[in-house]
Amino acid sequence: MVIKKIAFVSYGLFLSAVIGLIAAVFLVLENFITEIVWHGQNHFVQTFVVLVGSVILYFLLKKWPNLPKTTHDSIKELKENQTIDYQDVFLNLLVTIVILGFGAGVGPEAALLSAIISLSIWQADNLRYFYFNYEELLQLPLKQVFKRLFDPFNYRQKYNAQKAIKNPKLIKWKKTLYFVFTVNGVLAFGLLIKQTDQPSFITKLGQTHWTWQQLWVIPVLLVIGIIVGKILKLASQLFEKMLDRLNLSLAIKVLLGALGIIVVAFFAPDLLFSGQHSLHLLVTTWSQKPALELFVLALLKLIFLVWCLNLHWRGGDIFPITFAALTAGFAMAQLLNVDVLLVVAVFATVLMSELLSPIVAGIFLILFFPIQLSAIIVLVAAIMWLKNKYLGGFYD
């Protein structure tokens, strides 16, 4: 039994490391392809390259119309079927790399988290096969054992409620292993990212010197942020309905998405991609821009995001919305005579809570601000969560 446990844990550590490495390789490839595609400043070449990318994307989507999958898609599939079809996980990442590499204003997180969820189910199915077929594996030659255990798509066992472990001690052990495997995967991911010198997506926005007397700004920014967020969501919904009425073909949608990328590349290249590697602009070159220009840039970033999402250049929205919310926060800070980062933190949290969710806003934005603002961000996110829970129907 001890040998079985050691072998089981070792196998799980190997599989979780593979998942972490796949996630890291995806980001490395995305950055590499982006560097190749957008090398140089020749607008004619960039236009040609984006059009080529749109052709590639069209043929990929024509063959696999349900890709790329997002986190929401994977969670929905898991809830409905108690499992996920992970056969297309690499195709999903391929389509996403094309979308991201050719300049779409979306993030990698949706497809990446979807792939991690799918691969986690793949890992569980492999471990389940190992656990329930251990005695059979002992009877096989070592070569056959390795062939079965390291076959990527065969020799797996799907979840079955009737066969699931019921022993409380084993269930507790399983939960502990989930944590260990997760940490192991994260370490493998971080190791490869560090070894390949990938840019960090976290940009510290400076120092804060807020005082208790300045907290009057919180209710003011709450009201303004909620109103702005509602207007932006309504505009996005109207745009989606308009596209639905037009009933455009796949080719036209992909082409329109490409034209949007070309226009942004020509007039506002800093708004290309997700924004995760452009946040430094807020504390460098953009710090001298007037409030009105920053508001316009934030709005354009959101328009570009909605444009891409609705025209089959799909991806994550967390990083683009974070970028837009922080940009709008710095614009708002110029209009108020209080601590800059206090205003940015509160306004960005409110806006992200409206456009995404208070939980995402509260957890994610803390990474960009000094620790002195963590409690403020959590407080504002909590207020927005309570607002959504008890007043959501009234406001919507």
**pLDDT class for 118, splitting at 50, 70, 90?**
confident
Q: Please state the φ and ψ torsions of residue 78, each to the nearest 5 degrees.
A: -65, -40
Alpha helices in the chain (DSSP H): 2-37, 43-63, 71-81, 89-101, 109-132, 134-138, 142-149, 168-195, 217-246, 250-267, 291-310, 318-335, 340-355, 358-365, 374-395
Q: Are residues 109 and 216 in the same domain?
A: no
Q: For the CA atoms of the chain, what is the radius of gyration?
A: 24
Pair (142, 170) in one structural domain:
yes
The string over 73-108, giving b where at least 16 C-beta atoms fall within 10 Å of a residue's C-beta and e elsewhere, is: bbeebeeeeeebebebbeebbbbbbbbbbbbbbbbb
Cβ distance 318 to 360 under 8 Å? yes
Identify which of 367, 343, 370, 348 has the alpha carbon closest to the alpha carbon of residue 358: 348
Give the pLDDT score at 165: 66
- Inter-axis angle of helices 142-149 and 109-132, to 10 degrees? 150
Q: 134 falls in which pLDDT band (50, 70, 90)?
A: confident
- What are the structure tokens assigned to 325, written together? 């919310």
Judged on CB neighbours under 10 Å (0-12, 13-18, 19+), 276 is buried
Distance (Å, whole) CA 26 – CA 337: 44
Check: CB of residue 265 under 8 Å from CB of residue 50: yes
Q: How would you class 223 by CB atoms within 10 Å of its CB: exposed for 0-12, middle for 13-18, buried for 19 or more?
A: exposed
**Short-list 66, 98, 373, CA closest to 215:** 373
Q: Which of 161, 195, 229 is the last residue of a domain?
A: 195
The predicted-structure confidence for 90-114, as pLDDT tens digits, reads as follows 899 999 999 999 989 898 888 888 8
Residue 72 contacts residue 79 (beta carbons within 8 Å):
no
Same domain? For 228 and 311 the reply is: yes
Q: Give the mean model confidence (pLDDT) for residues 260-280.
A: 87
Q: Is residue 201 part of a domain?
A: no
Residue 200 lies in a domain: no
Residue 258 forms beta bridges with which residues? none
Residues 273 and 335 both lie in one domain:
yes
Q: Which of 37-41, 140-144, 247-251 has the lowest average pLDDT? A: 37-41
pTM listed for this prediction: 0.86
What is the spatial distance between Cα 216 and Cα 231, in angstroms, rounded to a whole number?
Answer: 24
The 10 Å Cβ neighbour count of residue 359 is 13
Give the domain extent around 370: 212-395
Asked if 325 and 351 count as a contact pair (C-beta separation under 8 A), the reply is yes
Pick from 1-5, 60-64, 152-156 the range whose average pLDDT is largest: 60-64
User: Of 195, 221, 246, which marks where a domain is finished?
Assistant: 195
Q: Which of 250-259, 271-280, 312-321, 376-385 has the lowest mean pLDDT?
A: 271-280
Q: How far is CA 133 from CA 83, 126, 146, 266, in A?
A: 20, 11, 14, 59
186 and 256: one domain? no
Q: What is the pLDDT of residue 1?
A: 66
Bridge partners, residue 107, by sequence: 316
pLDDT of residue 162: 63
The pLDDT > 70 percentage for the chain reads: 95
Instruction: Quote the number of domains for the chain.
Output: 2
Residue in the structure block whose two tokens are 């607002």: 387
Query: Are residues 44 and 139 located together in one domain of the fold?
Result: yes
Distance from C-alpha of 317 to C-alpha of 343, rounded to nearest angstrom: 23
Structure tokens at 261: 């990328």
Per-residue confidence band for 392, with pLDDT thresholds at 50, 70 and 90 = low
User: Which two three-digit tokens encode residue 259?
Assistant: 């034209």
189 in the same domain as 41? yes
* 203 within a domain of the structure (yes/no): no
Structure tokens at 371: 């620790």
What DSSP letter does each residue of 59-79 carry, written as one string?
Answer: HHHHH-TTPSP-HHHHHHHHH
Contact status, residue 362 vs residue 232, Cβ threshold 8 Å: no
- The residue among 22 and 39 whose pLDDT is bigger is 22
Contact of 149 with 155, CB cutoff 8 Å: yes
Looking at the fold, whether 218 and 164 belong to one and the same domain comes out as: no
3-state secondary structure of 273: coil
Q: Are residues 242 and 184 in the same domain?
A: no
Residue 7 has pLDDT above 70, yes or no: yes
Residue given tokens 């059009």 in the structure block: 51
Whether residue 207 is contained in a domain is answered as: no
- Same domain, residue pair 250 and 307: yes
| Position 205 in a domain | no
Specify if 167 maps to a domain.
yes
Residues 224 and 150 in one domain: no
- Of 195, 226, 260, the residue at which a domain comes to its end is 195
* Domain-embedded: residue 355: yes
Pull the structure tokens for residue 238.
Answer: 């109207």
180 pLDDT more than 90: no
Tell me if 316 sits within 8 A of 73, measured CB to CB: no
Question: Which residues fall within 8 angstroms of residue 228, CB to CB, at 6 or more apart?
Answer: 328, 351, 354
**Is 356 in contact with 235 (CB distance < 8 Å)?**
no
Kindly state whether residue 356 falls inside one of the protein's structural domains.
yes
Same domain, 84 and 114: yes
